[in-house]
Amino acid sequence: MNPALAYLDAAQAILERIRTTQLDALERAADICANSIAQGGLVHLFGTGHSRIPVEEIFPRHGSFPGFHPIVELSLTYHNPVVGANGQRQAMFLEHVEGLGEVILRNFVLAPPDSFLIFSHSGVNEVVVEVALGAKRRELPVIAVLSLEHCLATPPRHSSGKRLPDIADVTIDNGTPGGDALVTIDGLSDPVGPGSTIGAVAVANALKCLVADRLTRLGQPPLVLTSSFFVGIEVAARRFEACYDEYRARIRRVYGCTERRQ
């Protein structure tokens, strides 16, 4: 088979797996997120490595709305230099350093009604497990998005002996097979074409749509970052400013600030 078609077929299978097996988990996760946002709280988003991609997919971008708080730690996610200063070796090393997760959380004021949404393909690396444990200690519900097949076949690495599904209130399977890469090429010993980003981003956007629906039915329709394609340049520009202002107001508390009336 043409390798491109093989990849597209495998990617479609990931989406179908999410569609047929994960709707209940998505609904339960949406209840948690909508409850946080409706009460003036935040859904904190976290992921290391390439799991920063679904974090930034949720907010800010067109079709998204305030209420989600992306936490992107550059020391764990800044991959484009590859080697040298800020290289991939350092980032991959830091993913396994116990204590770093709590240091990251210490920068924020975290309390109910907030919640945490954590992306990780393997669900076992020390930092993501520690962030989940820290969120639970702060009495925040935790949602985990990962490859269940990969996670359950991988020994725990954190000293607690826990994987993300052992901690999370809701676990959503990103539908990707263990090992991530999807396509086998004749004459090439290693598979190519990772699929976890497709699964994680699909989950992120499906969840975002469910949360928007819940907030709207609660009488709190979200303020959406909307493309000028839909509303024109001037309205889109005003909407962006209003969204950023609402986001700023929402996150002031987690940085130890209080909103002042203007």
What was the pLDDT predicted at 78? Answer: 86
262: pLDDT confidence band, cut at 50, 70 and 90? very low
Give the pLDDT band (50/70/90) at residue 261.
very low
Q: What mean pLDDT do residues 149-162 have?
A: 96
- What is the pLDDT of the chain when averaged over all its residues? 95
Burial class (CB in 10 A: 0-12, 13-18, 19+), 87: middle
Q: Model confidence over 236-249: pLDDT tens digits?
A: 999 999 999 999 99
Q: Any bridge partners for residue 202, and if so which?
A: none
Helices (H), the chain: 3-21, 23-38, 52-58, 74-77, 88-94, 100-105, 126-137, 148-152, 164-167, 196-217, 228-231, 233-251
pLDDT confidence bin for 258, thresholds 50/70/90: low
- Residue 86's contacts (CB-CB under 8 Å, 6 or more residues apart) are 74, 75, 78
Q: What one-letter code names the amino acid at 246?
A: E
What does the pLDDT read at residue 205? 98
Q: Tokens 């550059």 — which residue?
A: 74
Whether the predicted pLDDT of 154 surpasses 60: yes
Within 10 angstroms of residue 244's Cβ, the number of other Cβ atoms is 13
126 neighbors 154 (Cβ within 8 angstroms): no
pLDDT in tens, 37-81: 999 999 999 999 999 999 999 999 999 999 999 999 999 998 888
Query: Phi and psi of 81, rounded to 5°?
Result: -70, -25
pLDDT of residue 204: 98
pLDDT exceeds cutoff 80 at 195: yes
Q: What is the mean pLDDT of residues 136-158?
A: 97
> Which tens digit of pLDDT belongs to each residue from 203-245?
999 999 999 999 999 999 999 999 999 999 999 999 999 999 9
